[in-house]
């Protein structure tokens, strides 16, 4: 991926391209291009911009900084992508419910805050309404960086205010009910101070005996991370084996403070935006967030734990920073937050029963951000209106907790909401913090636990899993939206919790294959080369149960084209940019959409090499070192039945279109159509 411009096809019912540019370069101009014509222009300073596509074709985006121009990779939209029947979105704003339904009553002695949402430009009307009421009222506008929202985001139609008052909570509630009767007042939300919201934890971290030791070096404790495994975990290790450790994902986690001094959280990808405590002594006491961040981002360093998405960018926020997260987040980011609140029976339920929290999640998901929230640990049926107030679907996902041994609902986990779509372990989560598993010389920066529990543990587990899925999607040039992430998750094969109302447990490796199929399906058996291009037509065949190596030779000894590599026509299938030499990776994964005689689409996985007398290299390696003969080389395709167990025992066909490209003469691109047959 470029540091100057990256583009992603949005996995959405509305064809669109999301563009990321280098915001450190200052102001820029973006131009959406097709057939060398400018389709649309955008100017700004925010790194993320969205273009909506109206017709099939090949598109690029040109960014013009004050000191240079850069062009993105191509994004191709097939005609079939515009033939999909338009359906209603999975979630939509329900303003009437925000006004029609009442929030739970705050206890008279609890501290609270008041947040008001009004139609844009109606503050003077709000002032007049407040003047009619007895008591002291002081309005302060909530500052939100609106430049980070796309131009059609509904947030531009509203204004947000906090209200201070000397009235009791009961009297404020009376005023709120009056205000909400006005059509320009969307809601008046009376919420407990965020600082007092409940940690949704059933964690036993602090009550177990600390396992203190005087060893000099922390051992590798990753064997305790059984949630990484299949079939009872989330099948993460097989995702890692495909090279996906979250390197293209951004995860923003909101929690109750993290021990930023912990030895296994020194990952350069972790940014502590805000934290609980200012001194080292105070920060060392932070346990809850330390456990959460550990399962996401603990460094792959040979000791301690290894975070599920340890290569993702992780931003950690203290709990009172939701408005900051709202401004900071970008489309495709994963946001998880770890707090709940008490209902009238003192049972812990999601904080979205308060209108302002519900609305914040809505604004995030409408921005294209994927939001997870802990479901809570009270065994509450969240579809019961007497237990949980439901204002409608805000696009977020509630995370339940399951049992490690069989995937069924953990006894304490809340369940049953329409957005209770995913779950993960609620017991025996090995992570950083507490010292119940290991601690050296009573130093909390070396503490590890095997007993992090509750939906507190399940939410970051799922956030990290979704980060891997987003990273995989972006590696193929597409981006999952809240809508398409929901659709993808429903395809997980780990369905043990569905009957209990906590949704599926992410099977990450399997869902990566599902993503491959969905992304590649429009390309199945499509030949992108015209007859006039004089492309080479080659054939490669495999038997479904037999390991096989296929060699396709190319002879360049009588030409001046000595340094050649193989690049894919479609970047979703294989490397599409020529490189000189990758000294670390020696194999390229190739993904080929194939179909059977009935038109059913699947994906074939091959290992591919460029091979000459000097050895094997990645497919797109241009260099020709050693004693190779005059630039001659082979494309080597390796079929492994163990990598393709998802295929049925039938005949398949597909096309793998590539180019032979020269390092010195980049204009040389020989089109090659490789026909794939499987029996």
What is the DSSP-derived secondary structure letter of residue 318?
A: E
Return left, alpha or beta for 48; rule: phi > 0 is left, psi -120 to 50 is alpha, else beta.
beta
* Mean pLDDT to the nearest integer, 438-462: 94
Pairing of strands 652-662, 588-595: antiparallel
Closest by Cα among 607, 611, 657, 659 to 635 = 611
The 10 Å Cβ neighbour count of residue 525 is: 14
Q: Kindly tell me if the per-residue pLDDT of 628 is higher than 70.
A: no
Rounded Cα–Cα distance for residues 278 and 265 (Å)? 18
Q: Is the dihedral of CA 34, 35, 41, 45 positive or negative?
A: positive
Give residue limits of the domains in the chain. Answer: 5-82, 107-192, 222-520, 536-678
Tokens of 226: 């059984």
**What pLDDT score does 193 carry?**
74
Tokens of 442: 């009573």
Rounded Cα–Cα distance for residues 676 and 129 (Å)? 72
* Mean pLDDT to the nearest integer, 163-173: 87
Closest by Cα among 427, 419, 415 to 499 = 415
pLDDT band at 192 (very low <50, low <70, confident <90, very high): confident
Rounded Cα–Cα distance for residues 179 and 408 (Å)? 45
The 10 Å Cβ neighbour count of residue 613 is: 12
Strands (E), 152-272: 158-165, 185-192, 212-213, 250-255, 270-272
Residue that wins the pLDDT comparison between 585 and 510: 510
What is the DSSP-derived secondary structure letter of residue 328?
A: H
Average pLDDT of the chain is 90
C-alpha to C-alpha distances, 70 to 22, 28, 341, nearest whole angstrom: 11, 11, 48
Q: Kindly tell me if the per-residue pLDDT of 137 is higher than 50.
A: yes
Domain 5-82: which CATH number of 2.60.40.10, 2.102.10.10, 2.40.70.10, 3.30.9.60 = 2.60.40.10
Tokens of 189: 């939300």
Tokens of 526: 């499509």
CATH class of 222-520: alpha beta
DSSP codes joined into one string, 480-500: E-HHHHHHHHTT-SB-TTGGG
Return left, alpha or beta for 631; rule: phi > 0 is left, psi -120 to 50 is alpha, else beta.
left
* Mean pLDDT to the nearest integer, 109-136: 90
480-527 pLDDT, tens digit per residue, is 999 999 999 999 999 999 999 999 999 999 999 999 999 999 899 999
Same fold, 107-192 and 536-678: no
Which CATH superfamily is 536-678 part of?
Answer: CFA/I fimbrial subunit E, adhesin domain (2.60.40.2520)
Q: The domain at 107-192 falls in which architecture? A: 2-Layer Sandwich (3.30)
What is the DSSP-derived secondary structure letter of residue 424?
A: E
DSSP codes joined into one string, 235-263: --HHHHHTT-SSTT-EEEEEES---TT-G
Under a CB-based contact definition with an 8 Å cutoff, are residues 359 and 187 in contact?
yes
């Amino acid at each position: 991926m470029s540091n100057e411009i990256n583009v992603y096809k949005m996995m959405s019912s509305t064809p669109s391209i999301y563009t990321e540019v280098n915001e450190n370069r200052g102001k820029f101009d973006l131009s959406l291009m097709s057939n060398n014509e400018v389709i649309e222009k955008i100017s700004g300073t925010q790194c993320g911009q969205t273009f909506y596509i109206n017709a099939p074709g090949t598109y690029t985006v040109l960014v013009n900084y004050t000191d240079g121009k850069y062009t993105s990779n191509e994004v191709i939209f097939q005609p079939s992508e515009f033939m999909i029947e338009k359906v209603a979105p999975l979630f939509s704003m329900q303003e009437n419910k925000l006004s029609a339904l009442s929030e739970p009553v705050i206890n008279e002695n609890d501290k609270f805050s008041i947040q008001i949402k009004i139609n844009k430009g109606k503050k003077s009307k709000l002032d007049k309404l407040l003047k009619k009421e007895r008591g002291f009222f002081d309005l302060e506008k909530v500052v939100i960086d609106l430049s980070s929202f796309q131009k059609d985001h509904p947030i531009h139609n509203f204004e947000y205010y906090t209200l201070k008052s000397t009235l009791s909570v009961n009297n404020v509630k009376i005023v709120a009910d009056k205000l909400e009767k006005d059509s320009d007042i969307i809601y008046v939300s009376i919420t407990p101070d965020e600082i007092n919201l409940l940690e949704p934890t059933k964690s036993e971290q602090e009550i177990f005996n600390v396992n203190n030791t005087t060893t000099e070096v922390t051992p590798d404790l990753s064997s305790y991370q059984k949630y990484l495994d299949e079939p009872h975990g989330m099948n993460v290790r097989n995702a890692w084996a495909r090279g996906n450790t979250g390197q293209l994902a951004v995860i923003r986690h909101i929690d109750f403070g993290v021990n930023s001094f912990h030895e296994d959280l020194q990952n350069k990808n972790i940014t502590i935006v805000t934290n609980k405590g200012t001194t080292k002594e105070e920060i060392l006491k932070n346990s809850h967030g330390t456990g959460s961040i550990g399962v996401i981002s603990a460094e792959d360093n040979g000791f301690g734990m290894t975070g599920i998405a340890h290569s993702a960018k992780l931003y950690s926020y203290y709990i009172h920073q939701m408005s900051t997260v709202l401004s900071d987040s970008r489309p495709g980011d994963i946001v998880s937050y770890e707090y709940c609140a008490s209902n009238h029976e003192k049972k812990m339920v999601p904080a979205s029963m308060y209108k302002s929290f519900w609305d914040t999640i809505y604004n995030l998901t409408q921005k294209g951000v994927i939001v997870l929230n802990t479901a809570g640990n009270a065994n509450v049926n969240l579809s019961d209106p007497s237990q949980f107030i439901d204002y409608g679907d805000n696009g977020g996902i509630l995370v339940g907790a399951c049992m490690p041994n069989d995937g069924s609902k953990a006894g304490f986990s809340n369940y049953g909401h329409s957005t209770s779509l995913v779950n993960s372990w609620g017991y025996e989560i090995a992570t950083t913090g507490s010292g119940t598993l290991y601690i050296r010389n009573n130093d909390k920066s070396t503490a590890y636990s095997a007993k992090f529990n509750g939906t507190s543990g399940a939410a970051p587990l799922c956030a990290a899993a979704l980060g891997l899925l987003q990273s995989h999607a972006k590696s193929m040039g597409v981006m999952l939206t809240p809508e398409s992430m929901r659709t993808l998750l429903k395809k997980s094969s780990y369905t043990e919790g569905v009957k209990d109302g906590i949704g599926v447990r992410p099977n990450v490796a399997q869902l990566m294959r599902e993503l491959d199929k969905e992304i590649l399906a429009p390309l199945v058996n499509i030949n992108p080369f015209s007859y006039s291009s004089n492309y080479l037509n080659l054939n490669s065949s495999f038997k479904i149960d037999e390991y096989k190596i296929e060699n396709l030779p190319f002879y360049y000894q009588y030409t001046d084209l000595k340094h050649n590599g193989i690049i894919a026509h479609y970047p979703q299938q294989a490397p599409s940019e020529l490189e000189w030499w990758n000294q670390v990776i020696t194999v390229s994964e190739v993904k080929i959409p194939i179909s059977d005689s009935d038109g059913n689409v699947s994906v074939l996985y091959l290992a591919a090499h460029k091979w000459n007398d000097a050895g094997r290299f990645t497919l797109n390696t241009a260099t020709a070192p050693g004693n190779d003969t005059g630039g001659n080389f082979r494309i080597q395709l390796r079929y492994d039945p163990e990598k393709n167990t998802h295929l049925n025992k039938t005949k398949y066909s597909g096309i793998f279109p590539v180019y032979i490209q020269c390092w010195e003469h980049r204009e040389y691109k020989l089109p090659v159509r490789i026909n794939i047959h499987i029996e």
